[in-house]
Structure formats: structure tokens, C-alpha cells
Chain A
């Protein structure tokens, strides 16, 4: 019998539609896989086995009754633990929200449920999405399915690892500086950050409101497109949601054609600090795009050299403001409330007890950057650099339809390697940050493994705001050409995982 966990979401959907399998069978297969391998991977913080099976049975009943269901109805999905799920814990990987059960669904969650997707559970992440390795999760790191001693990227390492470990065909991630794309790159999976405002932020616990964006994680470009189409679109509950039609990303993924497409290689995103095997696979992939009929030019984006420092001022500033809501009064952890202290004392004790080191560092950094006398030199200057980055993108997109770069400068590093060196950790987001600052659309697609360590390499495709379909067109063309060469998808060469049994 076919292993149902190895199917793509598109093939699962086809098998469900034709009646070859039931949603309950598909869900049970994934729950069994989670039980078998998640003890080693730790992609999940919470698995709702009972709820998932119930939801799947309801889909089967509706299908049997002849109801017209959405294209992904009955397909299982994992959701990053930063997205509110009614009745299911939402911790953001933080002690301060341990055990919190939201009384409402995020718009993304609501759309998944309305489309009939089956939510398996919540995935691990760096605390409040701050990190590039999931090591900043208060509940322990996630392990990369390609090498359990290595990081799965972050902050959405749980979502990427769940998909890479065949625990779910799809996952939702969020991307503030690369948290969908960098984990996709280091786990050999596909991840897309839609145009800012493309997917509603209602019910997404805010890290940096001007940068945060939810998007799809999958094993194929088409699967990512199918999920993108479900979660994207205008939402009146989010005032930054774009009130415009969503580009037809599914058609673009099926088109998978780059003939005549102008591809711009970003001069600044390469060279010193980039792993040789990453650059090698990247260059080969660009050559393939050329063979497929794309024209390749080099584009110059000098302000990108300042994207990382600008981001690490803008993000902490917004984060210090957003995380002020964790005040121990209406929800979340309250510590030190022994009757003696004031609300302010209790607040400070609770926040010290509830936040981990990276959250504290960024809150204090943001507090500094926004403080009187320093605002102009730090936050104000960073906002001006942001303008320069937007201008560099605009100039580049006059010469190219899409831009490309490696997704991350290196392959997956070892767990523990950068945990005490925040600056080294920040470098993992070097290539992904510019898209967040400009708010455009961006994707990572697997392009092979680095010869020196056998670990996956991702190529980043960037498209102008609202032209998300171009990501899928280029990503699918590249994926198809590589699969033709290899005879399989990259993820199919990931090693077998030990089935030690899960902690769930």
C-alpha cells in the first residue's frame, strides 16, 4: 500500500476527490508518522490527534453527501504556534504564553478550516519568532530531518521540519526576516513569503507589525501555491491587508515556464561569508534558468549591505512595543503576585520569568533605539535606509522580472554553534531581510545539496509587490528541471529518520 505521508498535497487531494482514500485514513497516517518520528525531530509543540480525526471524518461525511468541497479539503496541515487557534494552545514558543488557549481563530486558521484542511497541531518556533534556528524556543529545539544534530532554521523550524519529515504535507509559517524561507532552504523544502498585506495578520501574534507575513510551507511549489491560494486575500479585520485580487499562483505553478523571463542576480548577495557549496548550487541553478529560456542580468543593490543593521533596529523597535502587551494582567504568565507588590512590580517579575534571553535582548535593544536622544540616530536612520532598499528594488525590477540569490549564506549549522553569538545567528537572515523591509514577495526553492556537507541549499526568488505569481512560475520551472535531472525531488533523498517513538 502507498505510504500516504509521502504524497504531495496535490496528489493527496486528487486521491481524496476520487475516493481512493478517506481524509480519516490520510490523517491517521500522518498522526502515526508524528508518533514515530517526532520524538527525534520535535517539530510539534502540540498535536491534536482527536480533533484532527474528528475534522477529517466530518470532511469525509460532507464529501459522501455530495458537497462541493475546496481543492485541499481533507488534506492535513501543521500550523506555526504564533497563529491563534481556537481551543488549541498557542504559545509562540514562550513560557509567558505556556498553556494559553485562544478564544478565537486567526483569519488564516479560519480560512484553513473553511477550506476543509485538517489541522494536526502546532509547530515549534523560536520564541515570538525571534531567531534563525528554533533554539530560542522555550520548549527545546527542533532537529533538522537531514541531520538531527543540526538546526532546521528559524523561526519557523517546526513548520519546515514537519513538512521535511513527512509529518504533514503542508504547514503555515510566518516570515518577518526570513522565518519561512531560511528554514525551507536548510530543510530542502519550499517556502513562500507573500507580498506584505497579501495574507491577513489578524490573530497572528505580532513580532514586528510592518514586517510580519504568513505564508505556505510545502514539499513542492505547486503544493505551496495551493495553500497560498487558500490563505491569501483581503481581510477587513487587518487594516494592512491589501484590498486587491490575489495573483493566480496555482496557474503560475502549473505554467512553470521561464521563457523570456528576465532574471536579475543580486550582486550584493554573494561572495565573502557565503559557503562555497551554496554558491556553486546557486550558480548551477541560474544556468538552468538560462537553459530554460530566461535571460540573466546582474543587478546592483548597494543599500542591501545595510539591510541587516537596519532590520536589527526596526525589528527590535517594533518588537519592544508589541511585546509590551505581555503585562501579566489579562492573559499569560503572572509571577510574583504575592500580594505585596504593585502591578508594575508583578509585571516586571513576570516578564523576566516569562521571556527568554533573545526576547529580552531585542526588547532592550528596541527600547534603546526608540529612546529620546537616540531615536534619530537609530530608528529614524534605519527607516531612511529602508527607503533606500525600496529604491534599490524598484531600480532592479526595471531591469528584471524577478531577482534571485541564495536563500541563506550557509547550509544548516550545528545546534549550539551560534546560540551564544547573536550576531552570527543574525547573519542567517542576510539574504532574506531585504524583501521584508520592502514588503515584496519572496520564495525559497531547493536546488541541491552542498558538496562539502551534503545538506540542502535553497535559491531565493524575489518578485515585486503583488506579483507573487512570478515566484511560482520561476520556482516550479526550476523544480521541474531539477527533478528531471535527479529523477526525484530533493526531499526524496533525505535520510530515513529513526522511529524512536514520539513524546506526544
Chain B
């Protein structure tokens, strides 16, 4: 990719592919400049000297939270499939997972 805070049309296409978004060409044209403006704006954080600053990934200093391993009822098969776009024989029916050549 190019210099920080600048995004090309090819990069938008690449990002959309990584994010599994089948954008149409109009969307690519529209989002490109918008993403560019946003990236320029957020790049401001690079002004700050943070060499000695540790990152914060989470507001709470919680580690290794566990709960006791007790058996409890989960969803039934019917409940689990209730929102499925397609189901067959008590299972989720999905499009083929492997490519034509596999």
C-alpha cells in the first residue's frame, strides 16, 4: 500500500476483497475519497511521541477470567437452526466451500 493516510482505488478494491464485500464500481468510486479523508484525519495520532507508552487494549485490567465447568442446557437443534438462511437434515446448508479445482 501507499504512503500513510492516502488510499488508491486499487487499495479500496483490495480492502473490500479482504473484508468480503462485493462492492460494485460505484461504491468503490464513492468510498475511496471518503476513506482517504478519514485516514488523513486519523493519521494525526502519529504526531504524538509514544515511544515509551505501553498500549491499552482494554479498559479493565482483567486476566484469565474463568467460570466453573458446569453442564447446562444450550440451544436445541431447532433453536440453533431457527435463523438459518438454509437448513437441511437438521444441519446448516451452505454453498460449496472448496473451489472448482479442489
Interface residues of A, Cβ cutoff 8 Å to B: 100-104, 196-197, 210-211, 236, 239-240, 242, 303, 306, 309-310, 312-313, 320, 324, 327-334, 336-337, 339, 341-349, 351-352, 355, 357, 360-361, 363-365, 367-368, 371, 373-374, 377-378, 380-388, 390, 422-423, 437-440, 465
Contacts and interface: CB of A to CB of B under 8 A. Distances in A.
A454 B36 CA distance: 36
Interface residues of B, number: 58
Interface in B27-66: 27, 30-31, 34-35, 37-39, 41-48, 50, 53-60, 62, 65
Contacts of B71: none
Nearest to B80: A103
Contacts of A331: 83-85
A333 B50 CA distance: 43
A310 B39 contact: no
A371 B18 contact: yes
Contacts of B57: 210, 383
Contacts of A100: 83
Contact of B86 (A334, A341, A363): A334
15 contacts: A197-B60, A312-B41, A343-B97, A352-B22, A360-B23, A365-B35, A365-B39, A367-B18, A373-B1, A383-B57, A384-B56, A387-B54, A439-B58, A439-B59, A440-B59
B59 A384 contact: no
Contact of A386 (B15, B17, B55): B55
A442 to B, nearest CB: 12
Contacts of A210: 57-59
Contacts, number: 187
A255 B97 CA distance: 61
Contacts of A374: 1, 4
Interface of B: 1, 4, 7, 11-12, 15-24, 27, 30-31, 34-35, 37-39, 41-48, 50, 53-60, 62, 65, 67, 75, 79-80, 82-86, 92, 94-99
Given A352-B21, A384-B55, A364 B15 contact: yes
A500 B65 CA distance: 52
A498 to B, nearest CB: 35
A151 B54 CA distance: 39
Given A197-B62, A351-B20, A384-B53, 13 more contacts: A101-B83, A210-B57, A339-B95, A342-B97, A342-B98, A348-B21, A360-B23, A381-B45, A384-B48, A384-B54, A390-B56, A422-B38, A423-B37
